[in-house]
């Protein structure tokens, strides 16, 4: 999938932000499949990579549709790469507060937010995650699971290894996972299916000839 992304972005010249926008819209559709109520309060948990960027892109659309939102980012906002930083700027311009969770002290509000929400979006870690889940993401995942709220996972449930399906210390238990381009092997193997929930695959406008030509 990383090779397909590279072919779409670098060879065909599709801007990453365009794919991110479609990824965000695919997440919105999944959220509305699980909770159709446009006034349902949501919590969006984002990492600092592109998976987190997809979560921020979804947040923009969910805000426009009227959902009260709480947005958490597990790292300093000034470390976000170009496209996630663009969405973070837009969200702040729209009046949303993005809360940086830099350690356990940043988790205080999360339990309260989770108690008051109808659904959680897990955009912490995708196919770029390596090894055992580190803090503060690990604690955020534990809190999400303890909340018992429905979860829509972005591309892959955070903490599930994308290739093997093994849990990397701790992993989100999703109600629905929206995979971009193709389903990640980890959603189908080992502990993956138990964490993936309903699996939806969305091409996010990656050309079909790239998706069909790849070995997976
Ligand atoms: N919209 C698009 O254009 C598009 C297209 C295809 C895919 N995607 C999305 O992008 C994702 C891949 O993005 P990515 O390559 O940036 O990777 P990622 O899955 O977002 O993960 C990378 C981030 O996770 C952190 N991280 C890595 N291993 C960790 C661990 N064990 N514990 C805690 N944090 C960890 C990294 O921090 P450090 O750098 O500090 O290690 C980095 O911030 C896909 O899954 C998909 O969701 C987006």
- pLDDT tens, 130-145? 999 999 999 999 999 9
Record the tokens describing residue 66, joined without a space.
């009227």
> Domain segments of the chain: what residues?
2-213
Q: Is-contact 43 111, C-beta < 8 A? A: no
Task: Say how many Å lie between the CA of residue 51 and the centre of ligand 1.
Answer: 5
2-213: CATH, from 2.40.30.10, 3.30.450.20, 3.40.50.10260, 3.40.720.10? 3.40.50.10260
Distance CA 151, CA 122 (A): 7
* 173: phi then psi, degrees, rounded to nearest 5: -100, 100
Going by alpha carbons, the residue nearest to atom 30 of ligand 1 is 133
In this prediction, residue 215 carries a pLDDT of 42
Ligand 1 centroid–CA 150 distance in Å is 22
Dig out the tokens for 161 from the structure: 């290894």
- pTM attached to this predicted model: 0.97
Ligand 1 and 23: CB distance under 6 A? yes
Per residue in 176-186, pLDDT (tens digit) is 999 999 999 99
CB 195 within 8 A of CB 176: no
- Strand runs labelled E in 93-214: 98-100, 119-123, 151-154, 176-180, 198-202
Per-residue pLDDT of 195-207, as tens digits, reads: 999 999 999 999 9
- Is 48 touching ligand 1 by the criterion CB < 6 Å? yes
CA of 132 to the centre of ligand 1 (A): 14
């Amino acid at each position: 999938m990383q090779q397909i992304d590279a072919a779409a972005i670098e060879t065909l010249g599709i801007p990453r932000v365009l794919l991110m926008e479609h990824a965000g819209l695919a997440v919105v559709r999944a959220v509305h499949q699980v909770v159709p109520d446009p006034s349902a309060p949501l919590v969006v948990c984002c990492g600092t990579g592109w998976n987190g960027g997809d979560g921020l892109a979804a947040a923009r659309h969910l805000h426009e549709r009227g959902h009260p939102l709480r947005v958490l980012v597990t790292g300093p906002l000034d470390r976000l790469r170009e496209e996630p930083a663009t969405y973070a700027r837009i969200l702040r311009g729209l009046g949303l507060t993005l809360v940086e969770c830099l350690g356990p002290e940043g988790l205080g509000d999360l339990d309260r937010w989770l108690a008051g929400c109808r659904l959680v979006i897990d955009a912490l870690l995708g196919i770029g995650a390596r090894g055992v889940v580190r803090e503060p993401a690990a604690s955020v995942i534990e809190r999400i699971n303890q909340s018992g709220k429905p979860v829509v996972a972005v591309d892959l449930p955070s903490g599930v290894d994308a290739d093997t399906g093994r849990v990397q210390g701790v992993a989100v238990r999703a109600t629905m996972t929206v995979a971009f381009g193709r389903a990640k092997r980890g959603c189908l193997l080992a502990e993956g299916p138990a964490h993936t929930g309903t699996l939806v695959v969305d091409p996010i406008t990656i050309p079909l000839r790239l998706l069909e030509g790849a070995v997976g």
